[in-house]
Every structure is written in structure tokens, then in C-alpha cells.
Amino acid sequence: MDESAAPAPAPVPAPAPAPASEPSTATAPVAAAEPSPERERDAADRLSRIHGAGELHAVLLALLTAPGSKRALRAWQNETAATPRAESLRRHATSLSGAARLPWFELLLARMAAQPLAARQGLLLATRRVMGARGVARPIDRLHWLTMRRGLREVGRLAARPESHPEAPEWLESDVLCVAAYTAFLSRMVPGQMVDSPDGRAWYDIVMATWLPFAEIPEWRPPKAEAMVEALARMQTLSWMQRPVIVRNWVTTAISRSRGQRLGDLSADALRMTCGLLDSPSPPELARHYVTLPADAAR
């Protein structure tokens, strides 16, 4: 694919038809209790030996399935019915701590990218069905979907615009408005421990105050899925100097609003996946949230 061309914004999974959506979990913590170190070591040992398309399919779906959702679990079971020992693989995936889930997701996704086209496309279709099973998409689902499409090489990288003033990057009003739209989307997950935390709006206001010299900041209003993807696509064309500035502002403000406590897994995952989508390195404060996988796991 020509990476200089600008493909259409990536579609975001629409919920599959359902009689009614499951009860909202917006006021409940997203992550379950952390597993024991022994279970996590066993899980890491098993996952490190997964390379086949069927097993990768089962584990990747398990890692993005909404916790506690009976509909999502049934959808996962339907999508993995042909995979031997799928339930055992799911138990290993759910034994990972919040600090380990996303690193393993990224590693196994890289392995899946080496599988035949039919296997990759099958995973994408299954992902849409599992995400849609609840009747409503979570904000983190949208990031998992975009990360999966990018990791499976379904979309190319957009060409970054040249920097006219290397020592003083140029911020256009349209740039700031896109940052505002995407920041409002992130505020549904950052900096709280749960979806739609009341602290999200305050985080948005503090983050966007940085951009007041460049544009009038719009009121906080989380965008619809299509507008979020368009804002992200615009930020992907910013220069290599500009994108880390945005990321660091998000992360440092989130940590400040956390009042010295560790970022929640939901917040950290949203920020880390966004770093990947922007081709921007994770700031050290965010990178420390996660485990470093052993070198032999990448083989």
C-alpha cells in the first residue's frame, strides 16, 4: 500500500443487532481483581508458545472481550468453537494483570500479522461480532479495533507534513480543533478508573488550556465514532515533533489528576494505544505502567 496516500478513515465496529444492550457498566470499575503472580507466570509461559492462527485468534479475541459480559462471552465461544482447548486459552488470557494484557495483545497481534490473509480477515470479522455482541461499543473497543487494523496492516501510515520551523512547530487552528475532539474522546477513559469518570471533563479543560494561544478551545463534547477517527487521522499527519508534545501533555496531566496514584489500567491502555496509532513513543511515566515481556517471548 502506498503510505503517502490518505486512505479513508478506518471503519469503527458497529454493534450487531441485539434485542437490547446490556446494562451499562459506566459506574463500575472496568478491570477485575488482579490475578495471582503464579497464574500470571503460567499464562505468560503458555502464551509465549502460541503461534498458530487458530490459537492466536482465540487469545486475541479473549483479550479484548468485555469483562463480565455474558453476551460477549457467548460471542467469543461461537467464534472459537473450532479451536481446540480454546477455553483453556481464554483462562490464560484472563489471568494476565492489567500491566501485562496490552503488551501481550501487541505481541500476539504482531504474530497474527504474519498469518495468511484469510486468517487475518477472519479475525477482523470475528472482532466486529464480539464487540457488537453487547449492543453498544465501549470507547476502548474503538481503540482496540483501530489498533488491530493497523497491527494487521489493513491500513497504511499517513504521510506526516514537513516541519517548516523545526525549532518552533507550527500549530494551525484546524490542528488544535482535532486535538480537542480526540482529547474529548479520550476523556471518557482518562484519567479515571472507569468509563465516563466525572474527572474526564476537568482533565480535558486542563489539557486544552495549553492550546489557548493557537485557537479558541471548544466546549467539552465527546465526538461520535466517525468524528473521532477523522480527528485521529488529522493528528497522524502532524510532524514527528508535534505528536510527542500532544502525548506528553495528555500523560502528565492524567498523572497529575491522579494525585500521585498509579494510572488506572483503562486510562493507561487508552493512552498507550493512542501512542501506537500516532507513531509516538510512550513517555517514560506511561511506559512504567506496563511489564516488559521477556526477550524469548518475542520469538
pLDDT for residue 116 is more than 50: yes
pLDDT for 40-78, tens place per residue? 999 999 999 999 999 999 999 999 999 999 999 999 999
pLDDT average, residue stretch 119-130: 97
pLDDT average, residue stretch 209-224: 94
pLDDT confidence band for 100 (50 / 70 / 90)? very high
pLDDT confidence band for 36 (50 / 70 / 90)? confident
Task: Report the SS3 class of residue 198.
Answer: coil
Contact (Cβ atoms closer than 8 angstroms) between residue 159 and residue 3: yes
**pLDDT score at 163:** 66
The lowest-confidence range among 109-113, 116-120, 256-260 is 256-260
Contact (Cβ atoms closer than 8 angstroms) between residue 206 and residue 183: no
The position carrying cell 503464579 is 38
CA-to-CA distance for 73 and 90, rounded, in angstroms? Answer: 10
Nine-digit cell string for 129: 461480532
CA-to-CA distance for 6 and 23, rounded, in angstroms? Answer: 38
pLDDT average, residue stretch 190-196: 91
pLDDT confidence band for 157 (50 / 70 / 90)? confident
CB-side exposure of 240: number of CA atoms within 13 Å? 5
Mean pLDDT of the chain: 88
The position carrying cell 500470571 is 40
CA-to-CA distance for 123 and 130, rounded, in angstroms? Answer: 10
pLDDT average, residue stretch 122-134: 97
Nine-digit cell string for 199: 474527572
**pLDDT score at 246:** 97
Phi first, then psi, for residue 91 (nearest 5°) are -65, -40
**pLDDT score at 286:** 96
**pLDDT score at 111:** 97
Helix axes 139-151, 117-132, angle to 10 degrees: 180
Query: Is residue 24 exposed (0-12), middle (13-18) or buried (19+ Cβ within 10 Å)?
Result: exposed
CA-to-CA distance for 27 and 22, rounded, in angstroms? Answer: 14
Query: Is residue 2 exposed (0-12), middle (13-18) or buried (19+ Cβ within 10 Å)?
Result: exposed
pLDDT for residue 32 is more than 90: no
pLDDT for 264-284, tens place per residue? 999 999 999 999 999 999 999
Contact (Cβ atoms closer than 8 angstroms) between residue 138 and residue 185: no
pLDDT for residue 35 is more than 70: yes
pLDDT confidence band for 150 (50 / 70 / 90)? very high
Nine-digit cell string for 155: 491500513
Percent of residues, the chain, with pLDDT higher than 90: 75
Which residue ranges make up each domain of the chain?
38-156, 173-290
Q: In sequence order, which ranges of the chain are alpha helices (DSSP H)?
A: 37-47, 53-64, 70-79, 86-94, 98-112, 117-132, 139-151, 173-186, 199-209, 225-236, 242-257, 265-277, 284-287
Give first-to-last CA distance, the chain, whole Å.
27
- 231/31: higher pLDDT: 231
